[in-house]
Structure 1
Amino acid sequence: MDFVFEYTSFLAKTVTLVVAILIVLAAAASLRSKGRRKNAGQLQVSKLNDFYKALRERLEQSLLDKDRLKALRKEQGKALKKEKKKPADAKSRVYVLDFDGDIKASATESMRHEITALLTLATPKDEVVLRLESGGGMVHSYGLASSQLARIRQAGIPLTICIDKVAASGGYMMACIGNKIISAPFAILGSIGVVAQLPNVNRLLKKHDIDFEVLTAGEYKRTLTVFGENTEKGREKFQEDLDITHELFKNFVARYRPQLAIDEVATGEVWLGMAALDKQLVDELKTSDEYLADRAKVAEVFHLHYSERKSLQERVGLAASGSVDRLLLSWWSRLTQQRFW
């Protein structure tokens, strides 16, 4: 038993030390980055046509005998020569972006640069495809993400949104900007609503004779609080703010998808892709893989990804601080008055 106790004690000390080191590294990385300009990012571009071609050729090599494979390669060579004789701008281009949304819509930082880059070359005969996955999050964060996508529409470039898993709440707010929305049959869509929640421990504090004062300048600077005593007037004002935000949300969706019966779908409900098609929340049922493979037959398809260059110290620091941030954000979002799409 002594051995087990000593080992457990040693393990606890080791874990404590490792956590302390990670926190110190995170703090050092944070302080270092504040005093200087961020490292320049890098735009990575890959041609998906080449990816699909490599898949096909690998399968052909495995399944066809030598004579059939040789004849096929000869035909493909002729087709390639004919293709090269066409004018360089004969084929349209498809620019593919990815958005994997968290509660803060953190992917907006990369997407904004990807959009800026493609807008320097894209023309109305091209297309932008966004593979979108998000269950929504903070109002202001998804508002900015949607505004970035609106730049594509304003430039007159067709925008297609592909949803394989989920685009709900703030995610659907982004999706509705697309000229066309394509969904997998069982993807989750909708949730056109607004929610805010917080606990109140005022009665618990009173039970233990603990006073909590909330001082404000401005009648509605603070409507509901976690620790103070909430009033009916504060609740009414808070609900009014939610209703206003919901109305703005509905108007935004209706602007880009006027075919919707907006009052019927803006109830906060969600639908699977097949039902969403009947509600006109989407235009077509298809996976993003199927859509892009079809587009690659007639267009040049490029995948764009913007990433920040980070030093080893920053990567270690961000890994440590990121875990802490996610934990704190999850907790704090339940205690504050953040509004969520």
Structure 2
Amino acid sequence: MLNEYLLFLAQTVTLVFAVLFVLAAVVRMRQEGGVAPGRLQVRPLNGVFRQRAEALRRAGASSTWRGRLRRKLQRGSTDPGAVELPDKRVYILEFRGDIRARAVEGLREEISAIIAAARPGQDEVILRLESPGGAVPAYGLAASQLARLREAGIHLTVCVDRVAASGGYLMAVVGDRIVAAPFALIGSIGVVGSLPNFHRWLRNRDIDFEQHTAGAYKRTLTLFGENTEADRERFREDLAHIHEQFKGFLRRYRPQLDVETVATGEFWLAERALEAGLIDALQTSDDCIMAQREQAHLLEVDYRQREGWSQRLAVVTERLFGQRNAMERFGPGLE
């Protein structure tokens, strides 16, 4: 009787949780349906830098100096260390790339806003970039978004503090200038495509798999069918074609680069990357930004887009399984 009761209780609890989960999902989707797609946030940084510097100066100042400062503030001077800035504006963006370059959705909104507001030949953009690469279409789109700035006549500096490899470097190369911290990873100019095959496992269990296509190359390598050497050769040709397009993109934006020497799939620390011509200078993004604080208005631009529950679940799942496993699931990519 106890066993039967426990079984009944488990079934009841499972049913209740299933109903609650469905109801919560429905409510969530209805709520998200009415939410605005996102909001553009702009944060001036000059005042932030001056306030921090002033705080450090005040910490070591005498009480007499602090008294003079207090009286100056009371007379209406809100920032005694302020300097008159020229009319130039530097927009600061940040891109943290994952396997699918999901941040490109926010990047495109930020760039559209900057192009609408910036003055070609006068204003600039600094991009803090961090990405180990990912899917070809996603990073191709991200690089194309940055190319919009170049086409609009807006100078672009790309800063790499940790890593800009493969698809990440595909984005970085669009910049008029690339700077990187000394131990940042640069390069990995290559293409990889991989997927498991379960054909023998199915065959050993007497399970047939059928796949019909129209077109000789509609499908090459498959998960469940038997892959032939001709299929593999065609797949390798596709990867080689993507690699050639990758190298052509590099030649367009960095004609001084010896592409055949660097496009081997390996990566370099930034010091070696500088010698190879992959970057232009060794510098952290912080120094690059602070060097502009007396010559321009620094504006940090960030487009915040609310993610649905399905997107957040996908992010958590990808983090659990790791980026390399995700690459193997999604096929050809810039890694």
In the alignment, structure 1 residue 202 sits paired with structure 2 residue 199: yes
Q: Distance in 2 between matches of 1:159 and 1:28?
A: 43
Match of 2:52 among 42, 55, 60: 55
Amino acid in the other structure paired with 1:94: V
Q: 1:220 to 1:23 in 2, by over 3 A?
A: farther
Q: Deviations over 1:156-199 (max 9, x none)?
A: 11100000000000000000000000100000010110000011
In the alignment, structure 1 residue 264 sits paired with structure 2 residue 294: no
Structure 2 partner of 1:241: 238
In the alignment, structure 1 residue 98 sits paired with structure 2 residue 98: no
Structure 2 partner of 1:128: 125
Match of 2:334 among 319, 323, 340: 340
Match of 1:212 among 199, 205, 209: 209
Amino acid in the other structure paired with 1:104: R
Amino acid in the other structure paired with 2:274: L
Deviation of the 1:68 alpha carbon: 4.0
Match of 1:323 among 303, 316, 319: 316
Structure 2 partner of 1:117: 113
What are the within-5 Å matches in structure 2 for residues 26-37 of structure 1?
Answer: 26=25, 28-30=27-29, 33=32, 36=33
Deviation of the 1:332 alpha carbon: 5.9
Deviation of the 1:67 alpha carbon: 3.0
Amino acid in the other structure paired with 2:171: M
Amino acid in the other structure paired with 1:299: A
In the alignment, structure 1 residue 155 sits paired with structure 2 residue 149: no
Deviation of the 1:125 alpha carbon: 1.2
Contact 1:194 1:242 in 2 (8 A): yes
- The residue matched to 1:114 in structure 2 has which SS? helix
Deviation of the 1:339 alpha carbon: 3.1
Contact 1:152 1:159 in 2 (8 A): yes
Q: 1:247 to 1:18 in 2, by over 3 A?
A: farther
Structure 2 partner of 1:25: 24
What are the within-5 Å matches in structure 2 for residues 138-153 of structure 1?
Answer: 138-153=135-150
Identity of aligned residues (%): 43
- The residue matched to 1:216 in structure 2 has which SS? coil
In the alignment, structure 1 residue 165 sits paired with structure 2 residue 162: yes
Amino acid in the other structure paired with 2:207: I
Structure 1 partner of 2:270: 273
TM-score (norm 2): 0.85
Structure 1 partner of 2:291: 294
Report the aligned-residue RMSD. Answer: 3.3
Q: Which stretch shifts more, 15-24 or 221-230?
A: 15-24
Where does structure 1 lack aligned partners over 5 or more consecutive residues?
1-5
Match of 1:65 among 62, 66, 77: 62
Q: 1:259 to 1:317 in 2, by over 3 A?
A: closer
- The residue matched to 1:141 in structure 2 has which SS? helix
Amino acid in the other structure paired with 2:201: L
Q: Deviations over 1:59-114 (max 9, x none)?
A: 1121111234566787xx69979955x8xxx3311000000001111111111111
Q: Distance in 1 between matches of 2:20 and 2:275?
A: 55
Structure 1 partner of 2:104: 108
TM-score (norm 1): 0.84
In the alignment, structure 1 residue 253 sits paired with structure 2 residue 250: yes
Q: 1:137 to 1:156 in 2, by over 3 A?
A: same
Q: Distance in 2 between matches of 1:242 and 1:289?
A: 37
Deviation of the 1:338 alpha carbon: 3.6
Where does structure 2 lack aligned partners over 5 or more consecutive residues?
1-5
Amino acid in the other structure paired with 2:111: I
Q: Deviations over 1:123-158 (max 9, x none)?
A: 211110000000011100011111110010001111
Structure 2 partner of 1:190: 187
Structure 1 partner of 2:3: none
Q: Deviations over 1:22-66 (max 9, x none)?
A: 676346534665xx5651421111111111112111111211112
